[in-house]
């Protein structure tokens, strides 16, 4: 009996040891790696470049003051429509500067002197008129005497010469009076300027007209005041000439061609269409938000024919998002770019077969953002691992998370 109990006890201990060993082996076995997978499929594919841009006008006109003068108030507002030839603003002569005390005294003295010269000229004119009347009377008397042969022809011609001389002296005296009158008015005008203000009388004005039909984009001066020649007053443009300027990375710009289609979004309205008109031949350096020097190339885009961007609410200087359509097809085998990695210098991905990850080397075609074209290595319907981690190896057991 005791021997049977001993044997039974040994069997129980052996069974317990086997169970413990099995539990240890089960605990130490490799656990399947949990992965996310997607199905390889054929779908429409677009190879594009996306970048922000801004609208601008192809041509604008800065209307400046052609001369130095006094600007009348500009009544036009930003956004107002103007017609070619319409008056934009008016200029009048600048007001004279104010006089100090010394200059005023000198002006008063100059006015008194001008008045004295005027009085002297008027007196000379009266004298010249009297002498002319006497000379004409003498000439007529000698003329009658000559008709009766009482004086010689030489005496008559002498009196005629004296008459013509007095007439000339009268005209000279009249001109002196007129000149003295102008001097008085000039001196009075100088004396009248005391505070530098404009005269209340009507002033001649220069009217500056719009060079083209368009809208007012910016008003640099609104209030009246003195302006210098060449100073900008308003800016005019035609909204029908609107275009888009995009500064692309040079590595993306070399993939573009003139006439390439673009999609315009992100401006607050329905998507618009356009095309590349010009790729500038010279780039420039711009520092990114991360402090990295980037080589950028300006690219100019035209809206599609018949698109009235201004009527839809777009204006100059608006932000837009532009997608350059480099290549597109309707049926392309593709995978998420996040599933790809480099293995021995080649593109690779993990395909899931019978619960295990299998390394596949792929031939990749075009890449566009989140998707990449697969030329060789995968078939439609297969499932591949997205975002493979370092713990995933060829042949490792996997469990799918989705």
Q: For 151-184, what is each residue's pLDDT tens digit?
A: 888 888 888 888 888 888 888 888 888 888 888 8
The segment with the largest mean pLDDT, out of 22-26, 62-66, 193-197, 392-396, is: 62-66
Query: Exposed, middle or buried by CB within 10 Å (0-12, 13-18, 19+), for 82?
Result: buried
Higher pLDDT, 209 or 103: 209
- Mean pLDDT over 185-201 rounds to 64
pLDDT class of 321 with cuts at 50, 70, 90: very high
Q: Which regions of 94-224 does DSSP assign to beta strands (E)?
A: 206-209, 214-219
pLDDT class of 97 with cuts at 50, 70, 90: low
Model confidence pLDDT, tens digit, residues 229-287? 999 999 999 988 999 999 999 999 999 999 999 999 999 889 999 999 999 999 999 98
Q: What is the C-alpha to C-alpha distance for residues 319 and 310, in angstroms, rounded to an integer? A: 14
**Do residues 281 and 269 make contact, with C-beta atoms less than 8 angstroms apart?**
no
**What is the signed CA dihedral for 378, 382, 383, 385, rounded to 10 degrees?**
-10
Q: What is the C-alpha to C-alpha distance for residues 173 and 259, in angstroms, rounded to an integer? A: 82
Joined together, the tokens standing for residue 69 give 């003068």
Q: What pLDDT was estimated at residue 62?
A: 92
Joined together, the tokens standing for residue 359 give 């390394």
Q: What pLDDT was estimated at residue 370?
A: 85
Q: What is the C-alpha to C-alpha distance for residues 45 and 51, in angstroms, rounded to an integer? A: 19
**Do residues 214 and 236 make contact, with C-beta atoms less than 8 angstroms apart?**
yes
Q: Which regions of 74-231 does DSSP assign to beta strands (E)?
A: 81-82, 87-92, 206-209, 214-219, 225-227
Q: What pLDDT was estimated at residue 402?
A: 56
Sign of dihedral through CA atoms 180, 181, 183, 188?
positive
Sign of dihedral through CA atoms 265, 270, 271, 272?
negative
Helix (H, G, I), strand (E, B) or coil at 84: coil
- Cα→Cα distances 5→15, 19, 376, Å: 15, 21, 69
Q: What pLDDT was estimated at residue 110?
A: 84
Q: What is the C-alpha to C-alpha distance for residues 173 and 179, in angstroms, rounded to an integer? A: 10
Q: What pLDDT was estimated at residue 8?
A: 72
- 95-99, 111-115, 306-310: which range is least confident on average? 95-99
Taking all residues of the chain, what is their mean pLDDT, rounded to a whole number? 86
For β-strands 69-71 and 41-57, DSSP reports them as unpaired
**Do residues 234 and 219 make contact, with C-beta atoms less than 8 angstroms apart?**
yes
**Do residues 208 and 72 make contact, with C-beta atoms less than 8 angstroms apart?**
no
- Residue 199 has what DSSP assignment? P
Joined together, the tokens standing for residue 66 give 């052609």
Q: Which regions of 18-145 does DSSP assign to beta strands (E)?
A: 33-39, 41-57, 60-64, 69-71, 81-82, 87-92
**Do residues 328 and 261 make contact, with C-beta atoms less than 8 angstroms apart?**
no
pLDDT > 90: what percent of the chain? 33
Q: Per-residue b/e over 94-105, b at no fewer than 16 CB within 10 Å?
A: ebeeebeeeeee
pLDDT class of 195 with cuts at 50, 70, 90: very low
pLDDT class of 96 with cuts at 50, 70, 90: low
| pTM strictly above 0.85 | no
pLDDT > 70: what percent of the chain? 91
Tell how far CA 247 is from the center of its chain.
15
Q: What pLDDT was estimated at residue 111?
A: 83
- Mean pLDDT over 83-109 rounds to 80
Q: What pLDDT was estimated at residue 150?
A: 82
- Mean pLDDT over 333-351 rounds to 90
**Do residues 335 and 37 make contact, with C-beta atoms less than 8 angstroms apart?**
no
């Amino acid at each position: 009996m005791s021997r049977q109990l001993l044997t039974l006890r040994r069997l129980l201990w052996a069974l317990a040891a086997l169970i413990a060993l099995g539990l240890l082996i089960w605990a130490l076995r490799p656990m399947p790696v949990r992965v996310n997978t997607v199905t390889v499929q054929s779908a429409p594919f677009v190879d594009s470049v996306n970048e922000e841009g801004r609208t601008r006008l192809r041509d604008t006109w800065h209307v400046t003051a052609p001369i130095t003068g006094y600007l009348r108030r500009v009544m036009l507002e930003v956004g107002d429509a103007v017609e070619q030839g319409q008056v934009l603003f008016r200029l009048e002569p600048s007001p004279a500067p104010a006089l100090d005390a010394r200059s005023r005294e000198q002006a008063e003295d100059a006015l008194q002197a001008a008045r004295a010269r005027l009085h002297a000229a008027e007196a000379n004119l009266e004298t010249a008129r009297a002498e002319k009347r006497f000379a004409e009377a003498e000439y007529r008397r000698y003329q009658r005497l000559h008709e009766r042969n009482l004086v010689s022809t030489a005496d008559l011609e002498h009196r005629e010469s004296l008459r013509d001389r007095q007439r000339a002296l009268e005209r000279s005296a009249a001109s002196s009076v007129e000149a003295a009158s102008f001097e008085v008015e000039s001196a009075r005008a100088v004396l009248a300027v005391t505070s530098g203000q404009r005269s209340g009388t009507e002033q001649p004005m220069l009217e500056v007209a719009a060079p083209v039909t368009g809208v007012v984009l910016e008003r640099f001066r609104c209030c009246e005041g003195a302006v210098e020649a060449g100073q900008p007053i308003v800016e005019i443009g035609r909204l029908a000439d609107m275009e888009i300027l995009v500064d692309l990375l040079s590595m993306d710009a070399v993939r573009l061609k003139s006439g390439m289609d673009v999609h315009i979004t992100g401006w607050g309205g329905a998507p618009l269409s356009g095309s590349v008109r010009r790729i500038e031949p010279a780039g420039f350096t711009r520092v990114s938000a991360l402090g990295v020097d980037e080589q950028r190339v300006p690219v100019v885009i035209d809206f599609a024919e018949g698109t009235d961007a201004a009527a839809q609410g777009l204006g100059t200087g608006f932000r837009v998002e532009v997608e350059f359509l480099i290549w597109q097809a309707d049926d392309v085998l593709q995978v998420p770019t996040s599933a790809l990695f480099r293995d021995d210098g080649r593109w690779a991905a993990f395909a899931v077969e019978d619960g295990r990850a299998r390394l596949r080397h792929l031939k990749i075609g075009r890449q566009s953002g989140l998707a990449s074209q697969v030329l060789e290595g995968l078939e439609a319907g297969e499932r591949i691992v997205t975002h493979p981690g370092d713990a995933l190896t060829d042949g490792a057991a996997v469990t799918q998370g989705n």
